[in-house]
Amino acid sequence: MSKTIVIYYSRTGENYVNGSIRKLEKGNTEVCAEFIRDAVGTDLFKVDTVTPYSDDYMTCIEEAKVELKKAARPELKEYLDNVDAYDTIVVAAPCWWGDAPMAIYSQLDRLDLTGKTIAPLMTHEGSGLGSFEKSLSKKYPDAKIVKGLAVHGADAAKSEDTVSSWIKKIAK
């Protein structure tokens, strides 16, 4: 089996779930990242920003919009230096304005992804994968981006079978 790591970002606090705002104790993407780990025994790396995004949903929406507009690369608490030990990198993120949070790219930009297989997973409230796959292909042309998986955030806890069969086809 290929050696796989999941690099993910996930936010607790207020989020939009099926049309109303709810406070999440554990982020939807983290739930999916753990399903991937359980399915194929991957390592997990959680991206965490030095300056946290707001717990308040509406404030976070604005913060994310500003970062997306200026292609910000917010500073992270910790970085992976390399992914030499891995063949497959799952990049799991919530959909923020159609793309991943810029914090994900703060990490990916620092890695040599040449020849790596990148498998995108995105949790969302209606946008699916948005432009995530396209963003990854454009930013990291030396990696092979495989078909991603979109998981409706509100259904994250029920997505284990879907997530598991998706990753088992990729991380063989």
Binding site for ligand FMN (CB under 6 A): 10-11, 15-16, 24, 27-30, 57, 60-61, 64, 94-98, 123-127, 153
* Least Cβ distance, residue 136 to ligand FMN (angstroms): 17
Kindly tell me which of 54 and 164 has the beta carbon lying closer to ligand FMN. Answer: 54
Kindly tell me which of 17 and 87 has the beta carbon lying closer to ligand FMN. Answer: 17
Tokens for 97?
């304005």
**Residues 122, 132: Cα–Cα separation, whole Å:** 8
Kindly tell me which of 57 and 87 has the beta carbon lying closer to ligand FMN. Answer: 57
* Least Cβ distance, residue 62 to ligand FMN (angstroms): 8
* Least Cβ distance, residue 130 to ligand FMN (angstroms): 6
DSSP 99: B
State the DSSP string of 105-122. HHHHTTS--TT-EEEEEE
* 106 touches 89 (CB < 8 A): no
Closest residue by beta carbon to ligand FMN: 153
Residue 27 half-sphere exposure, CB side, CA atoms within 13 Å? 20
Tokens 């390399």 found at? 82
* Least Cβ distance, residue 114 to ligand FMN (angstroms): 28
Q: 61 by DSSP, 3-state: which?
A: helix
> 48: buried, middle or exposed (CB in 10 Å: 19+, 13-18, 0-12)?
middle
Kindly tell me which of 95 and 118 has the beta carbon lying closer to ligand FMN. Answer: 95
* Least Cβ distance, residue 119 to ligand FMN (angstroms): 17
Kindly tell me which of 34 and 40 has the beta carbon lying closer to ligand FMN. Answer: 34
